[in-house]
Amino acid sequence: MSLEYSCPLCSNLLIKTANMLRCENNHSFDFAKEGYVNLLPVQQKNSKQPGDSLEMVQARRAFLERNYYAFLQHELGQIISNIAANNIIDLGCGEGFYTQALASNTQATVYGVDISKAAVKYAAKRYSNCHFSVASISQAPFKSYFADVLVSVFAPLFTQELARLAKPGSTLVVASPGPQHLKELKEYIYSSVNEHTQIEVPAMFTQTSQTLITEQVTLNFSDVKNLIMMTPFAWKFRPEHWLALEEKGEHNVTLSFYITQFTRDKSIAVAHI
């Protein structure tokens, strides 16, 4: 199975030779022993180790292994199984929990991209049915109009890049927090908890469907701690919040997700990168 990455420095096609990728301008990128390739140039880094830290990745892996999010993983896999595709990109793939489910439900080549080296290292070491790279999803290492399906699970949406990557007529699948997602935990840190709203329709896409899936789960303190460490609001939890969570022991928590599908417009009026 050939890989179709583009050079992050000059945008030319990268060719696999031995254990590296090289373009015609002689830019080369080695595969790590775990099987992933680092396609993040230093000029695209906003810190020494961008993206999720090792601590966040380990917390997410520990929580996801408990299968509380399996219903979301299953729903995404079912959606992908009904789409004819050659190339699928999971943008912001993290440690590959959803990426490998996509690959298990399709004959397409599945790529997982994340800016966190720690996350991609975990993903590549565990899942051999996908191709993982360290890269920025705002400047993904693929040619324009490459993807038959783009998938984004709780990742930022860079609308111009989505339109560039997606073939005209292709599918974008976005998983985002539902209205009541984790409301019981947010009540510890917010005096008033605002509901999550639906995502906006990205430019050059048309919304075709939306599903809201919800489950109530009972979590012990260890699971709650790992779940919070996965979230953008983890830094808001102070010692007294953690103590209150631990003293309560078990917690009833709402898990709620929107799964929204979009179709890429037929127009190709997007600047090539």
- Euclidean distance between CA atoms 102 and 93, whole angstroms: 11
- Euclidean distance between CA atoms 113 and 100, whole angstroms: 12
Q: Is 187 annotated as a binding residue?
A: no
Q: Is 184 annotated as a binding residue?
A: no
In order, the DSSP letters of 84-97 are --SEEEEET-TTSH
Which residues contact residue 272 at a Cβ distance below 8 angstroms, ignoring those fewer than 6 apart? Answer: 144, 164
Q: Is 93 annotated as a binding residue?
A: no
Helical axes 221-229 vs 54-64, angle rounded to 10°: 130
What's CA 6's distance to the chain center, in Å? 20
Which residues contact residue 143 at a Cβ distance below 8 angstroms, ignoring those fewer than 6 apart? Answer: 4, 6, 11, 13
Do 94 and 54 meet the contact criterion of CB atoms below 8 Å apart? no
- Euclidean distance between CA atoms 115 and 222, whole angstroms: 27
Q: Is 96 annotated as a binding residue?
A: yes
Which residues contact residue 187 at a Cβ distance below 8 angstroms, ignoring those fewer than 6 apart? Answer: 193
Phi/psi at 42 (nearest 5 deg)?
-60, -30
Annotated binding site for S-adenosyl-L-methionine: 69, 95-96, 181
Per the annotation, binding residues are 7, 10, 23, 27, 69, 95-96, 181
Residue positions forming the annotated binding site for Zn(2+): 7, 10, 23, 27
